[in-house]
């Protein structure tokens, strides 16, 4: 594959991801601003974006750290939220199986909801394995850069947000905005209703167990509702 | 905030490493395991609604009278309506924050 063709694939990926940035920017700004608002060190806020690099789970971690949750609960919550990425990994793996093992490592690090969605849509109708990789990188890499920049801007700008704006409420609002489109049909609605209900009832439990128990009950609730629908 | 300093760094590194391994899992395993088993995939599909609802609900609805805030509840319901109509993260955040400021002033 020529360098020209690689460039074309990379640019095609970058073009596809450009409109998605509109949604990424406010999300990244929040990740920086709310981290500082709950008292997290600015360098650690950047560390979250670099090491975790997964928006919803970062905001959840910020929320929990601000609410004095223990370390184990914070880590467990991040991992539960990011478990869905194992599905993305499995779904894209066949397209990258010609690559050397070492080359797959950076691709995995850059895997996000958006990069997955773009790649899987395009790969169905695609030519060679090389151009797939460069298309994926074209979509995933700018997203990484924008996310990191927005976190830093959020940290700096967050300090300038007036006290009268309840910036910490932006975190649940972000989750609401992600939750609503995730509900498509009875089974996912049941998962949300059970998960939210149990979490509210369990809010007083020690170690933020209400969240973990709520999430697990919600998953079970969704499976039950789906199973009942089959018969 | 009780988590800070080195403890928080360890949390960030553990969460980051775990997330990276989840991402990498099938990129490396693919030759051995064909794909995620259907039943696991099915269960995982309920993770987003269950976790997101469990995260957000206690921030909006509180059962104990001392932590219950009508302004947060109303602003949350308003934001749900906006999210449902627009499916826009930005519109939901902005309208929810404005609604909370308004309700806090009025109530």
Position B47 pLDDT exceeds 60: yes
**CA dist., res. A58 & res. A77, Å (int):** 10
Taking a C-beta distance cutoff of 8 angstroms, is the pair A77, A212 a contact?
A: yes
Instruction: Check if the interface score ipTM surpasses 0.90.
Output: no
Looking up tokens 């309700």 gives B103
pLDDT band at A130 (very low <50, low <70, confident <90, very high): low
What pLDDT, on a 0 to 100 scale, did the predictor assign at position A221?
96
| Residue A3 to chain B, least CA–CA distance (Å) | 25
| Residue B61 to chain A, least CA–CA distance (Å) | 7
Taking a C-beta distance cutoff of 8 angstroms, is the pair A104, B27 a contact?
A: yes
Chain A residues whose beta carbon lies within 8 Å of the beta carbon of residue B44: 83-84, 86-87
**CA dist., res. A155 & res. A34, Å (int):** 8
**CA dist., res. A28 & res. B84, Å (int):** 22
Position A131 pLDDT exceeds 90: no
Chain A residue nearest residue B56, CA to CA: A172
What pLDDT, on a 0 to 100 scale, did the predictor assign at position A230?
58
Cβ neighbours of residue A192 closer than 8 Å, sequence gap 6 or more: A179, A182, A183, A218, B49, B50, B52, B53
Q: Which of B18, B37, B89, B91 is the best residue to mutate to test the A interface, defined by the most A CB atoms within 10 Å of its own CB?
A: B89
pLDDT band at A169 (very low <50, low <70, confident <90, very high): confident
What pLDDT, on a 0 to 100 scale, did the predictor assign at position A5?
84
pTM of the complete model: 0.79
Chain B residue nearest residue A100, CA to CA: B28
């Amino acid at each position: 594959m020529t360098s020209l063709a690689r460039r074309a694939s990379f640019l095609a990926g970058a073009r596809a991801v450009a409109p998605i940035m509109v949604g990424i920017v406010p999300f990244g700004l929040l990740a920086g601003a709310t981290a500082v608002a709950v008292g997290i060190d600015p360098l650690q806020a950047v560390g979250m974006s670099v090491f975790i690099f997964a928006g919803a789970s970062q905001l959840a971690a910020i929320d929990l750290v601000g609410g004095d949750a223990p370390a184990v609960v914070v880590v467990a919550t991040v991992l539960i939220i990011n478990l869905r990425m194992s599905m993305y990994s499995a779904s894209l793996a066949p397209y990258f199986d010609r690559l050397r093992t070492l080359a797959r490592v950076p691709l995995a690090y850059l895997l996000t909801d958006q990069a997955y969605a773009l790649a899987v849509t395009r790969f169905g109708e695609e030519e060679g394995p090389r151009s797939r990789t460069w298309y994926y990188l074209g979509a995933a890499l700018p997203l990484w850069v924008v996310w990191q920049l927005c976190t830093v801007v959020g940290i700096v700008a967050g300090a300038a947000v007036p006290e009268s704006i309840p910036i910490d409420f932006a975190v649940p609002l972000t989750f609401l905005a992600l939750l609503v489109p995730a509900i498509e049909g009875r089974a996912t609605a049941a998962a949300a209703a059970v998960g939210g209900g149990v979490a509210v009832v369990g809010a007083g439990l020690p170690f933020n167990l209400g969240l973990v128990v709520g999430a697990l009950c919600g998953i079970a609730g969704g499976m039950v509702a789906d199973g009942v629908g089959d018969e | 905030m009780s988590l800070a300093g080195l403890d928080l760094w360890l949390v960030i590194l553990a969460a980051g490493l775990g997330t990276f391994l989840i991402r990498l899992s099938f990129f490396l395993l693919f030759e051995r395991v064909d794909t995620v088993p259907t039943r696991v995939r099915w269960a995982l599909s309920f993770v987003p609604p269950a976790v997101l609802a469990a995260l957000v609900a206690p921030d909006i609805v509180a059962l104990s009278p001392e932590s219950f805030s009508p302004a947060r509840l109303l602003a949350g319901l308003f934001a749900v309506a906006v999210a449902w109509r627009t499916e826009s993260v930005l519109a939901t955040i902005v309208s929810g924050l404005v609604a909370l400021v308004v309700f806090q002033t009025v109530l």
